[in-house]
């Protein structure tokens, strides 16, 4: 007898519906699984057989064939176990076919029949909704994540027998009690604890407001990492759409946990510098998202930038422009979103004291410094919109306990600046000042006569390139937005010029 049930397959960060067909017929007794399966799906055969027996069902001594359709898409993951078990039972006449309509089955089986959680539930339930299914039967532990898709009836099950009881007798399983979601991440980092450094604070504010990439250069102990850790506290809240995008990525990576709400905090990812190119960009035989995708709509912080392997950081060049990354592997091409703000920190030389107040402590030779700097390419430096050199913290700043502006205040200004940008770019495919394409700069960032004269002079004296010129203007636009100014003024351009990206010329002049 033939029966079919629905399940879902994960591909990249998207999911599609898979039909699980089971047929039991006369012939040589065997249990066969077909349909372009990866090894973890093929292993489902043994899990399903044992789980069924331990739940009180014995497979008939007949030829059992299970097919996962469409057969031309590679099936991955352990989420098909439940669907296969139900399909086999239905084919054996243990479940009424009526009960299988409009339902999607997702879950991994243990040998004792328990249903274990899997990753990627959110995109799977979204796929079920798109396929006009109404009910999703999924593991108990994944209930919170499944509930996030409105309009779907989610049935959490802990054991195979719960599923059969639900299908045959209509016994609704208990639903888990609402778990208190983790509090919006107040991890104790707040700009209120950063003493002094007004110049740097301003740079952070501008960078976040316009989602400009941001580089800090300074000696060890200047507080570069501390500042970076405070950046999440001034990031503006995410829209629903953004929350869903980010949540999908985290769901696929199995980082969703027990939370019962979408991820509503902008991500802040700080991978260690030993990370591989695949870890950063995404990869694997069946590609999964890398750190740049996990930082989507948030911040990717690379501390000690030159310590990263050069080929690792160079792969960011293309995603920084395209805001997404294409990963091609043997199992197909995948596109992951990667619209992040890059924050990086580095020392000016291997020992870190070059051109600082303690420059006399620096004993790095020119070749050493050249080698150190050569780990970062100029094209990557060019992509940093804002660059600030960070000074050693002074004694007075350490003991000074006068109140600093807390993150909440800065965040208010950031939100306002982003609202201005949203209105401005309502009809454009981009959202932030940092993303204005060169062709639209005259439209959104018109300069007055005086401002143009200033930029011309800067262009000549600083040796700007077309790219750096546009970056200065974009940053000036954000500064003007923060000030609430409609047009870009001279002071805005001046500040933007002082924040302009670093180039290796600085070191050369110093070393002559």
Partner 1 sequence: MNELSYEYWWAAYYGLTDLKKRLVFEHFGSARGIYEASKTALQGVEGLSAAQIQGILDSRCEARILKDTQTMVEKDIYLTTLGMTDYPLRLRGVVDAPYGLFYRGDLSIANGKTIAMVGARRASNYGKTMSMHFARSLAEEGAVIVSGMARGIDGAAHRGALSAGGKTIAVLGGGVEYCYPRENRDIYEQIGTKGLLISQYCPGTQPIARFFPARNRIISGLSDVVMVMEAKEKSGSLITVDFALEQGRDIYAMPGRITDVMSTGCNNLIRQGAGILQNPETFWQEYRESGLGTYIEEMENMPKLTHYEPEKAGIISKTEDQKDKKSDNSPEFSLEKEDSMVYSCFDFYARSIQDVADETGLDLLKLISIVMRLCELGLIRESFKNQYIRCK
Does 512 contact partner 1 by CB under 8 A?
Answer: yes
Considering only residues 326 to 355 of the shown chain, the ones binding partner 1 according to CB under 8 A are 348, 355
The reply on whether position 495 binds partner 1 by CB under 8 A is yes
Is the CB of 38 or the CB of 378 nearer to partner 1? 378
In whole angstroms, how close is the CB of 196 to partner 1 at the nearest point?
A: 7
What are the CA-CA distances from residue 494 to residues 450, 490, 503 (Å)?
Answer: 12, 6, 18
Residue 302 contacts partner 1 per CB under 8 A: no
Sole binder of partner 1 in the list 359, 398, 438, 453 (CB under 8 A)? 359
CB of 378 to partner 1, least distance (A): 15
| Sequence-ordered list of residues with C-beta below 8 angstroms from that of 434, at least 6 positions apart, any chain | 210, 211, 212, 213, 341, 385, 474, 478
- Asked if 177 and 307 touch (Cβ cutoff 8 Å), the reply is no
Cα distance between residue 320 and residue 126, in whole Å: 28
Residue 510 binds partner 1, judged by CB under 8 A? yes
Which of residues 270, 275, 416, 490 is near partner 1 by CB under 8 A?
A: 490
Q: Distance (Å, rounded) from C-alpha 423 to C-alpha 385?
A: 23
Q: Does a cis peptide bond (omega within 30 degrees of 0) precede residue 177?
A: no
User: Facing residues of 311 across strands?
Assistant: none
**In whole angstroms, how close is the CB of 355 to partner 1 at the nearest point?**
4
Interaction between residue 226 and partner 1 (CB under 8 A): no
Of 35-43, 231-239, 413-421, 483-491, which part binds partner 1 (CB under 8 A)?
483-491
Residues in the chain: 512
Among 199, 425, 444, 459, binds partner 1 (CB under 8 A): 199
**Secondary structure of residue 56 in the 3-state scheme:** coil
Q: 7 vs 10, 194, 251, 256, 377, CA distance in Å?
A: 10, 51, 17, 21, 47
Cβ–Cβ under 8 Å, residues 209 and 482 = yes
Q: Are 251 and 122 in contact (CB under 8 A)?
A: yes
Cα radius of gyration rounded to whole Å, the chain: 28
- Residue pair 500/472 in contact (Cβ under 8 Å)? The answer is yes
**Separation CA 246–CA 235 (nearest Å):** 15
Interacting residue with partner 1 among 54, 211, 494, 504 (CB under 8 A):
494
Of 58 and 509, nearer to partner 1 (C-beta) is 509
Instruction: CB nearer to partner 1: give 222 or 313.
Output: 222
Instruction: Report the alpha-carbon distance of residue 384 to residue 347 in Å, rounded.
Output: 16
**Interface pick for partner 1 out of 96, 175, 272, 366 (rule CB under 8 A):** 366
Residue 278 and residue 309: Cα distance in Å, rounded? 12
Nearer to partner 1, 107 or 223 (CB): 223
Per CB under 8 A, does 304 bind partner 1? no
> Considering the complex, what minimum distance in angstroms separates the CB of residue 465 from partner 1?
17
Q: 64: Cβ–Cβ under 8 A, 6 or more apart, which residues?
A: 22, 23, 24, 30, 31, 32, 88, 91
CA end-to-end distance (rounded Å), the chain: 85
| Integer Cα distance of 509 and 320 in angstroms | 30
Residues 387-416 that bind partner 1 (CB under 8 A): 387-389, 391
Report the residue number, 425 or 454, with the smaller CB distance to partner 1: 454
Nearer to partner 1, 244 or 462 (CB): 462
The footprint of partner 1 on this chain (CB under 8 A) covers a number of residues equal to 33
In the window 418-477, what residues touch partner 1 (CB under 8 A)?
Answer: 457
Rounded Cα–Cα distance for residues 156 and 252 (Å): 19
371 lies in the binding site for partner 1 (CB under 8 A): no
For partner 1, which stretch binds (CB under 8 A), given 155-163, 307-315, 422-430, 494-502? 494-502
> Which of 135, 202, 273, 309 is in the footprint of partner 1 by CB under 8 A?
202
**Least distance from partner 1 to the Cβ atom of residue 201, Å:** 9
E strand or H helix at 66: strand 63-69
Q: What is the DSSP letter of 147?
A: T
From 28, 58, 61, 360, residue interacting with partner 1 (rule: CB under 8 A): 360
Residue 196 interacting with partner 1 (CB under 8 A): yes
Nearer Cβ to partner 1 (251/458): 458
Residue in 330, 399, 486, 509 binding partner 1, rule: CB under 8 A: 509
Burial class (CB in 10 A: 0-12, 13-18, 19+), 272: exposed
What's the min distance (Å) between Cβ of 40 and partner 1? 51
Q: Annotate each residue in 373-392 with x if it binds partner 1 (CB under 8 A) or - if it does not, as one string.
A: --------------xxx-x-
* CB closer to partner 1, 295 vs 502: 502
Cβ atoms of 30 and 63 closer than 8 Å: yes
Strand bridging mode 288-289 / 282-283? antiparallel
Sole binder of partner 1 in the list 198, 398, 438, 453 (CB under 8 A):
198
Residues in contact with partner 1, shown as a per-residue x/- string from 121 to 160 under the rule CB under 8 A: ----------------------------------------
- Stated as kind and residue range, the H or E segment containing 139 is strand 135-139
Rule CB under 8 A: say whether 508 interacts with partner 1: yes
Contact 109, 244 (CB under 8 A): no
Contacts with partner 1, residue ranges (CB under 8 A) = 196-200, 202, 217, 348, 355, 359-360, 362, 366, 387-389, 391, 457, 483, 490-492, 494-495, 497-498, 502, 506, 508-512
């Amino acid at each position: 007898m033939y029966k079919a049930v629905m399940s879902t397959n994960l591909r990249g960060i998207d999911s599609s519906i898979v039909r699980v067909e089971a047929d039991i017929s006369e012939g040589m007794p065997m249990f066969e699984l077909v349909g372009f399966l990866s090894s973890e799906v093929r292993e489902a055969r043994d899990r399903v057989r044992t789980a069924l027996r331990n739940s009180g069902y014995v497979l008939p001594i007949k030829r059992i064939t299970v097919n996962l359709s469409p057969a031309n898409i590679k099936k991955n993951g352990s989420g098909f176990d439940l669907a296969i078990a139900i399909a086999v039972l239905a084919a054996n006449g243990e479940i009424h076919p009526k009960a299988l309509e409009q339902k999607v089955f997702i879950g991994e089986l243990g040998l004792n029949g328990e249903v274990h959680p899997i990753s990627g539930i959110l995109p799977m339930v979204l796929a079920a909704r798109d396929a006009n299914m109404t009910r999703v039967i999924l593991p108990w532990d994944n209930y919170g994540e499944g509930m996030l898709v409105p309009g779907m009836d989610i049935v959490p099950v802990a054991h195979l027998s719960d599923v059969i009881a639900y299908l045959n007798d209509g016994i609704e399983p208990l639903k888990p009690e609402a778990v208190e979601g983790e509090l919006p991440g107040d991890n104790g980092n707040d700009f209120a604890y950063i003493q002094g450094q007004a110049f740097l604070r301003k740079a952070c504010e501008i960078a976040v407001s316009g989602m400009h990439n941001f580089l800090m250069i300074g000696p060890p102990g200047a507080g570069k990492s501390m500042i970076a850790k405070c950046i999440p506290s001034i990031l503006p809240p995410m829209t629903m759409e953004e929350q869903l995008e980010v949540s999908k990525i985290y769901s696929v990576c199995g980082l969703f946990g027990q939370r019962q709400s979408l991820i509503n905090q902008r991500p802040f990812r700080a991978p260690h510098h030993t990370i591989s190119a695949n870890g950063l960009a995404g990869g694997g035989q069946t590609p999964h998202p890398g750190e740049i995708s996990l930082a989507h709509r948030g911040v990717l912080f690379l501390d000690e930038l030159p310590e990263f392997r050069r080929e690792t950081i160079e792969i960011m060049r293309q995603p920084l422009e395209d805001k997404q990354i294409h990963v091609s592997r043997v199992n197909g091409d995948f596109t992951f979103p990667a619209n992040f703000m890059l924050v990086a920190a580095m020392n000016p030389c291997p020992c870190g004291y070059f051109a600082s107040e303690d420059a006399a402590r620096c004993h790095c030779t020119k070749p050493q410094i050249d080698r150190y700097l050569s780990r970062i390419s100029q094209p990557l430096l060019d992509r940093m919109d804002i660059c600030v050199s960070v000074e050693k913290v002074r004694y007075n700043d350490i003991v000074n306990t006068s109140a600093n502006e807390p993150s909440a205040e800065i965040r208010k200004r950031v939100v306002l600046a982003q609202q201005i940008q949203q209105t401005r770019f309502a009809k454009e495919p981009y959202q932030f000042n940092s993303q204005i394409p060169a062709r639209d700069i005259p439209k959104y960032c018109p300069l007055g006569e005086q401002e143009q004269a200033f930029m011309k002079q800067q262009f000549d004296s600083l040796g700007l390139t077309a790219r750096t010129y546009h970056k200065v203007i974009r940053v000036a636009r954000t500064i003007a937005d923060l000030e609430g100014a409609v047009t870009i003024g001279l002071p805005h351009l001046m500040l933007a010029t002082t924040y302009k990206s670093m180039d290796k010329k600085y070191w050369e002049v110093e070393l002559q």
